Structure 1
Amino acid sequence: MAYQQPPYGGYGAPPPQGHSPQPPYNQYPPPQQGYGAPPVQPPYGQPPPQGYQQPGGYGQPPPNQYGQPPYGAPPQQAYGQPPPPQQYPQQGQYPPQGQYGAPPPQQYGSPAPPVGGYGAPQFPPYQNPPQVYSQPTPPSLGYGPMYAPQGYMPEADADLLRKAMKGFGTDEKTLIRVLANKDPMQVNAIRTAYYNRHKRHLLNDVQSEVSGWFEEGLCAIIRGPLQQDVVLLRKGTDGPGTKEEILNDVLLGRSNADMNAIKQEFQKTYRTSLESVIKGELSMKTERHFLMVLAANRNEESAPVVPQQIDQDVMDIYRATEGKTGTDELLVCSIFSQRSNAQIGAIAHTYKQKFTRDLETVIKKEFSGHMERALLHQLRTGTDRAMRDALLLEDAMKGMGTEDRLLVNRVIRVHWDRNHMMQVKGAYQHRFHKSVTSIRGETSGDYERLMVACFGE
């Protein structure tokens, strides 16, 4: 069943005439002709259409990077050849975003541009190789210019929210119904309309009417993705101790455009640089790792996946981990922080072909603590972002008690991109054999209803 896109203000719809087109949230640039053009993906959970050929060739990442062989694949694949595509049960409710476990939109098997060949000088390990021009990855929805959503009239929703909080008592169900299904552009329009019509700030009114984790969730939606990231970074570095999981969630695996937007907004809001705050909170090699991340000099997603460079990165990682006594942590951090998601996926696949071990297993063996979790986050972003977020949701709920702050922000972060959210729901069902709405067992009351509504239930 095709995923029905909402009118503009939704995901992937064009901005008003006269503005530059806003690309879909967390999506790659428009397809390019030639090397590196993203292939057309089949619907999530559906078999490839007739005549569809999985992109093959050198550096193709496998559908599964979590320590398990691809389902139905033979135990050993020829070097450089991808395993057969995964087959999953039919999931009619998923949108045509791409089959779960499909490789990143990068054709690894296409001929590489003339960057160099075998026998060419090796690139130094702590810098990116020379590259042909690559189109910058556009900012995610909510991190770039905020356009007025075409065809959406926020005044009616602004009036409903005011009515729900005016007078005695609060209509929590209306707050959930109005806010839980809006995208960042629509939320921004509601905030503006609320102030223009009622001369009140929506965030302040909600904070005065509700409380607890229900309040935290509503406020995260009202702030929008960028401002919420900035607030989280301040909470994660304020007071005794550093809340490392918050730093991982907000900063790792981000595009250069999003990272620069976060740094600028943090500077504007708190009159101090994010780099200086990180230096004061982290130390030693973990500090240097996060400063590499904050430098925002990743290869763009449109950059080609060069087989020679993938080979060199794989050998550098091997020599920095399994191939020596001790571990060169900073070399691995440098590669993971500078390569694009498509390149990281190719590195993970090629590493397993060369050494018959998952790169994730190697990281768990060679690293520990915060650096281990940070590297795993970056690796999973490049190999399977939907599964990464499914694992993060489960991690916030497993064991005794619930990490409510992490759960709230992970749910809200996923819900901003509806197509990705459906992918996460499918990944969660596949990995844990239960619906993501099992979140009901970890929450209650209005907090529970908001979390479930954010998943479109």
Structure 2
Amino acid sequence: MAAYKRGTVEDFPGFDARADAEVLRKSMKGLGTDEEPILKILTSRSNAQRQEIALAFKTLFGRDLVSDLKSELTGKLETLVVSLMRPARLFDAHALKHAIKGAGTDEKVLNEILASRTPAEIRNIKKVYQEEYEANLEDHITSDTSGFYQRMLVVLLQANRDPDGPINESLVEADAQQLFRAGELKWGTDEEKFITILGVRSIAHLRRVLDKYMTISGFQIEETIDRETSGPLEKLLLATAKCVRSVPAFFAESLFKAMKGAGTDDDTLIRILVSRSEIDLLDIRKAFRRDFAKSLYHAIQKDTSGDYRKGLLLLCGGEDD
């Protein structure tokens, strides 16, 4: 699995699980809840350290920390804090399970996770999903989706993307030409070509293909996908192409859209900030500043409020002026 060191949250130096557990218990004991120490501790400890705090909490007080937090907090703040407490290994599997649970499918979550994770990460998600839910993730997803969209999801779930290696320029040319013929040059669209090439080729190879495609067609691949496909498949192909170019830029755009216009998509905001806080949130912040001419910190400050805002800002980790 890729080793990232560009998160805003790291192991807390001088960490003491018991001391943290005692502070958390005190903040929830008696009348009212003191949210400040809860947020301060949980946003400055790594996920592994949070799990140690939960164990120490149970050892010291015979109580479940997550249950206590749920009973003391409400709304978006509760969702944020419970997400912070979810073990990192379960995070994506849990998000996918809830995206396909009940009536309707949250395609945004499926697209975000399956387009952005490495093959090793996807294999791990499938393993955890099987262990936690005693079910096959691919079976659950295929029973809830259809058509070319389903086929692209299945390709990504195989986690058989070619490994990065020496670039074969003749194959780059051939793939770019195939994509051009499958879209812009064709009456109708050969979706299978887009699915196979974008779903299977290595990331380094695909970056060259996207550059070559621009040279051949005069269009960015995203423009062609936008014109030639529609619905869920279009959104998944766009997410995949954007992640090929830059995963941090993809997440920066997702965060920008989550806070754009009337209302805020808090589920997306929480999911990305929590899941990327120990991976590449510093790079996401940098991409956000570059692409949207303002800092992620400023955008969160403007679009959220109360203790929920405080928690997100602590997780964000600072301004980018």
| TM-score of the two chains, using structure 2 as the length reference | 0.91
**278, 287, 307: which is aligned to 1:416?**
278
CA contact (8 A) 1:310 1:346 kept: yes
**Distance in 2 between the 1:192 and 1:343 partners?**
45
Query: Does 2:181 match 1:319?
Result: yes
**Distance in 2 between the 1:150 and 1:181 partners?**
10
CA contact (8 A) 1:181 1:456 kept: no
**125, 135, 151: which is aligned to 1:288?**
151
Residue 272 (structure 1) shift: 1.2
Residue 23 (structure 1) shift: 6.4
Could you say what secondary structure the match of 1:252 adopts? helix
Structure number, greater radius of gyration: 1
**Distance in 1 between the 2:202 and 2:33 partners?**
46
**Distance in 2 between the 1:23 and 1:240 partners?**
35
Residue 226 (structure 1) shift: 3.0
**Distance in 2 between the 1:163 and 1:344 partners?**
53
Name the aligned partner's letter for residue 33 of structure 2. T
Match of 1:429 in 2: 289
- Per-residue CA deviations over 1:267-315 (Å, capped at 9, x if unaligned) read 12222111111111101111111111111111234x3332222222212
Residue 166 (structure 1) shift: 2.4
Q: Which runs of 5+ in 2 are unaligned?
A: none
Match of 1:450 in 2: 311
Match of 2:139 in 1: 276
Query: Does 2:70 match 1:207?
Result: yes
Q: Which runs of 5+ in 1 are unaligned?
A: 1-21, 28-93, 96-140, 142-147
CA contact (8 A) 2:152 2:195 kept: yes
Residue 327 (structure 1) shift: 0.8
Could you say what secondary structure the match of 2:184 adopts? coil
Summarize the alignment of residues 284-363 of structure 1 with structure 2, pairs less than 5 Å apart. Answer: 284-301=147-164, 303-363=165-225
Name the aligned partner's letter for residue 161 of structure 2. R
Residue 372 (structure 1) shift: 1.3
Name the aligned partner's letter for residue 445 of structure 1. G
CA contact (8 A) 1:421 1:455 kept: yes
- Per-residue CA deviations over 1:163-186 (Å, capped at 9, x if unaligned) read 222232211111110011333332
Cα 1:373–1:293 shift into 2, 3 Å: same
CA contact (8 A) 1:149 1:189 kept: no
**Distance in 2 between the 1:236 and 1:439 partners?**
24
Name the aligned partner's letter for residue 291 of structure 1. V
Query: Which stretch shifts more, 344-353 or 388-397?
Result: 344-353
Name the aligned partner's letter for residue 286 of structure 2. G
Cα 1:327–1:212 shift into 2, 3 Å: same
Match of 1:50 in 2: none
Match of 1:179 in 2: 42
**Distance in 2 between the 1:394 and 1:160 partners?**
35
**Distance in 1 between the 2:193 and 2:50 partners?**
41
CA contact (8 A) 1:415 1:454 kept: yes
Summarize the alignment of residues 100-179 of structure 1 with structure 2, pairs less than 5 Å apart. Answer: 152-179=15-42
Residue 156 (structure 1) shift: 2.2
Residue 151 (structure 1) shift: 6.2
Match of 2:250 in 1: 388
Could you say what secondary structure the match of 2:63 adopts? coil
CA contact (8 A) 2:198 2:237 kept: yes
**Distance in 2 between the 1:435 and 1:354 partners?**
36
**13, 35, 58: which is aligned to 1:195?**
58
**Distance in 1 between the 2:117 and 2:209 partners?**
18
**Distance in 2 between the 1:455 and 1:198 partners?**
31
Could you say what secondary structure the match of 2:159 adopts? coil
Match of 2:4 in 1: 25
Report how many residues are paired.
317
Name the aligned partner's letter for residue 107 of structure 2. E
Cα 1:397–1:150 shift into 2, 3 Å: closer
Residue 196 (structure 1) shift: 3.1
CA contact (8 A) 1:363 1:375 kept: yes
Identity %: 30
**Distance in 1 between the 2:293 and 2:41 partners?**
31
Residue 335 (structure 1) shift: 1.4
CA contact (8 A) 2:12 2:46 kept: no
Name the aligned partner's letter for residue 171 of structure 1. D
Match of 1:137 in 2: none
CA contact (8 A) 2:177 2:216 kept: no
